[in-house]
């Protein structure tokens, strides 16, 4: 219903922000990550998501489209509601969530307050592969998914290496590299670590 709300920042706390847009004050529930990204000046723009429940309509605000996309994916996981998704986004940034899902790292998600082993596993199972789709906003998970990486992963898989082992090695190489690598360079460097 709402894409974003832009206006004067009236109040800002780690859990919510009030934005005055056209004389109407919108109370938007936010994550700690969004709180740290909202400028302290008067003009503010937050991407919005309206959660309609039986007992309330709750407006959530996000500093980036990528964070909003991650929130929408999380609330589609069985057992993860809007409050839990906001807690996850307060504890982890979108890159950390993507990396945890793509590397099957249950312990990272379990470190979030209120997330147990079963919920963490369900998040990984339900979101596996969703971070690879082109439909996700480009500011989401920068560096974890790019064409060179996916082509290198395909090549390594065809060479007989396990996909999860190849992904970990590729991510390690990408994190340690100072510049953009070609597919060939990425494969060569990854083969040295495998």
Q: Confirm whether 141 is domain-assigned.
A: no
Q: CATH number for the domain including 127?
A: 1.10.150.20
pLDDT for 124-155, tens place per residue? 999 987 765 443 444 444 444 456 777 788 77
Confidence category of residue 158, pLDDT binned at 50, 70, 90: confident
Are residues 83 and 126 located together in one domain of the fold? Answer: yes
Last residue of a domain, one of 62, 91, 111: 62
CA 101 to each of CA 17, 72, 117: distance values in angstroms, whole numbers, following the listed order: 29, 15, 14
pLDDT given at position 146: 55
Domain count, the chain: 3
Question: What average pLDDT does the chain have?
Answer: 84
The CB-side HSE value for 180 (13 A sphere, CA atoms) comes to: 7
pLDDT given at position 140: 44
Are β-strands 57-62 and 4-12 bridged in parallel, bridged antiparallel, or unpaired? unpaired
Are residues 76 and 105 located together in one domain of the fold? Answer: yes
Q: Confirm whether 138 is domain-assigned.
A: no
41: containing domain: 4-62
Are residues 78 and 117 located together in one domain of the fold? Answer: yes
Last residue of a domain, one of 89, 109, 132: 132
pLDDT given at position 72: 93
pLDDT for 87-118, tens place per residue? 999 988 888 888 888 888 899 998 888 899 99
Are residues 163 and 183 located together in one domain of the fold? Answer: yes
Last residue of a domain, one of 62, 90, 106: 62
Are residues 69 and 125 located together in one domain of the fold? Answer: yes
Q: Contacts for 164-170 with beta carbons within 8 Å, 24 or more apart?
A: 164/103, 164/104, 165/194, 166/190, 166/194, 167/102, 167/103, 168/103, 169/193, 169/194
pLDDT for 14-37, tens place per residue? 899 999 999 999 999 999 989 989
pLDDT given at position 63: 93
Q: CATH number for the domain including 157?
A: 1.10.8
Are residues 160 and 127 located together in one domain of the fold? Answer: no
């Amino acid at each position: 219903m709402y894409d974003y709300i832009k206006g004067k920042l009236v109040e800002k706390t780690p859990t919510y922000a009030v934005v005055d847009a056209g004389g109407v004050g919108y109370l938007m529930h936010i994550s700690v990550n969004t709180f740290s990204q909202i400028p302290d000046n008067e003009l503010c723009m937050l991407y919005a998501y309206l959660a309609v429940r039986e007992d309330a309509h709750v407006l959530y605000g996000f500093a980036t489209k990528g964070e909003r996309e991650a929130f929408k994916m999380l609330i589609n996981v069985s057992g993860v509601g809007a409050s839990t998704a906001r807690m996850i986004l307060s504890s982890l940034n979108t890159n950390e969530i993507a990396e945890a899902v793509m590397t099957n790292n249950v312990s990272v998600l379990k470190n979030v307050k209120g997330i147990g082993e079963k919920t963490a596993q369900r998040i990984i199972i339900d979101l596996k592969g969703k971070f690879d789709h082109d439909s996700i906003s480009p500011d989401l998970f920068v560096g974890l998914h790019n064409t060179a990486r996916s082509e290198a992963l395909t090549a390594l898989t065809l060479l007989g290496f396990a996909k999860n082992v190849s992904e970990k090695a590729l991510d390690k190489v990408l994190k340690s590299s100072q510049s953009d690598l070609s597919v060939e360079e990425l494969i060569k460097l990854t083969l040295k670590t495998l």
